[in-house]
Amino acid sequence: MDASLKTSTIPDDEVIDLRNLVRDYYHFKDLQSAVVLKLTAELKVSFPAYRKVFSKVTTQTSLKLLDACPLAEDLLAAPKDTVVEMIRSTARFGEKYALAKYDALRTAAEDAAIFGRALKSNSVRIRLYIDSYREYQKRLDTIMEAIHASVDGLKDSPVHDHILLLQSLRGVGFMSAVVLVAEMGSFNLFPSPKKLYAYFGLDPAVKQSGKFNGEKVHMSKRGSSLARRILHMVALNNLKVDKGSGIPVNPVIHSYYTDKCKAKKKNVAVGAVIHKICNIIFAMLRDNKPFEVITPQEHCKRYLAAHPDKVQCAA
């Protein structure tokens, strides 16, 4: 066989099933998000102050109200008892909460008569967006059930173990772990963190054309865009600071980020954090150990103690 030819390893059917499901899930999630943006934009024109009444326009109570009273004039015309009962039965926070929400909605509706501009088409479009949102949610629920069933069917397998293991990393939930494992396929294909970077498209690439050599270095983005999206989200989650205590969620990662920010732009520093997260994921799967907040120095010390044949480690 020609040594220059590269072989490819096709993942097991179970992993391909998971990969298909998570990609479908985020496809419909993005479509649903686009509908939410359209709904929000519609309310911004026809019912401006409505968005201040509910933290999210897509809560069950909000959608039920908008479906019944899409315009401010509809809400003002609706009997108070009907609206209050609608809020109370959906939100389940009691009569006091429902009455307070009704007063806020009434104020917002009166405000819309001055600052809003409602047309008949707004009513049609709002209800259309609500129907679309709910339809996408049904599809997402169906796919999520299939994902859980698929993962449950993988018990006692390395794939299932890796999914559980990754959830010990701060900022990684069930879906994030499933996406990373499904997009990765077999971890045995990655002998080093750099191979994992390259597979996810996080490796550096310089644009070249003929005699032109670009000076700026960017991520190659050759791998899974979904995996990069999840890793970016995980990186941001690890940079969060608890509002109450002021303590970072992950002190080591947060310290690493602030040090990078001293010499580099924030987006570049976040990119460095994503690489650090990749390093952590690689180490967790390689050593088959859950995540633990330790300094890079302590990590290297432990790794070299466990691998006396190694002379160095990548912190």
SS3 state at 213: strand
Which whole number is the average pLDDT over 164-187? 93
8 A C-beta contact, residue 167 and residue 174:
yes
Q: Is the pLDDT of residue 216 over 60?
A: no
Burial of residue 238 (number of CB atoms within 10 Å: 0-12, 13-18, 19+): buried
Kindly indicate the confidence band of residue 168, based on its pLDDT and cuts at 50, 70 and 90. Answer: very high
HSE-up of residue 74 (Cα within 13 Å, Cβ side) = 16
**Other Cβ atoms closer than 10 A to 81:** 9
**pLDDT greater than 90 at residue 298:** no
Question: What does the alpha-carbon distance between residue 165 and residue 199 come to, in Å, rounded to a whole number?
Answer: 20
Least confident of 3-12, 172-181, 254-263: 3-12
Beta-bridge partner residues of 217: 206
More confident residue, 7 or 222: 222
- Counting Cα atoms < 13 Å in the Cβ hemisphere of 59 gives 14
Does residue 305 surpass a pLDDT of 90?
no
Residue-by-residue DSSP string for 239-304: T-B-TTT--BSSHHHHHHHHHHHTTS-HHHHHHHHHHHHHHHHHHHHHHT-------HHHHHHHHH
Q: Which of 201-210, 235-244, 288-297, 300-309 has the lowest mean pLDDT?
A: 201-210
**What number of other Cβ atoms are within 10 A of residue 45's Cβ?**
14
pLDDT for residue 7: 43
291 half-sphere exposure, CB direction, 13 A CA radius? 23
* Average model confidence (pLDDT) across the chain: 86
Q: Is the dihedral of CA 233, 239, 245, 251 positive or negative?
A: positive
Q: What is the rounded distance in angstroms from the CA atom of residue 186 to the CA atom of residue 195?
A: 13
pLDDT band at 260 (very low <50, low <70, confident <90, very high): very high
Predicted structure pTM score: 0.82
Query: Do 288 and 278 contact (CB within 8 A), yes or no?
Result: no
Give the rounded percent of residues in the chain with a pLDDT score beyond 90: 59
CA distance 177 to 281: 10
Q: What is the mean pLDDT of residues 289-304?
A: 74
Q: Given this model, what pLDDT does residue 284 score? A: 93
Domain positions in the chain are 13-148, 154-306
Residue 157 pLDDT > 70, yes or no? yes
Instruction: For Cα atoms 33, 31, 271, give the angle at the middle one, nearest 5 degrees.
Output: 65
Which pLDDT band, with edges at 50, 70 and 90, does 212 fall under?
Answer: very low
- Class of 13-148 in CATH: mainly alpha
Compute the distance between CA of residue 230 and CA of residue 210 in angstroms, rounded to an integer.
35
Helix (H) or strand (E) holding 217: strand 212-219
Spatial distance between the Cα atoms of 111 and 44, rounded to a whole number of angstroms = 12
For the segment 77-124, what is each residue's pLDDT rounded down to a tens digit?
999 999 999 999 998 888 999 999 999 999 999 988 888 787 788 899
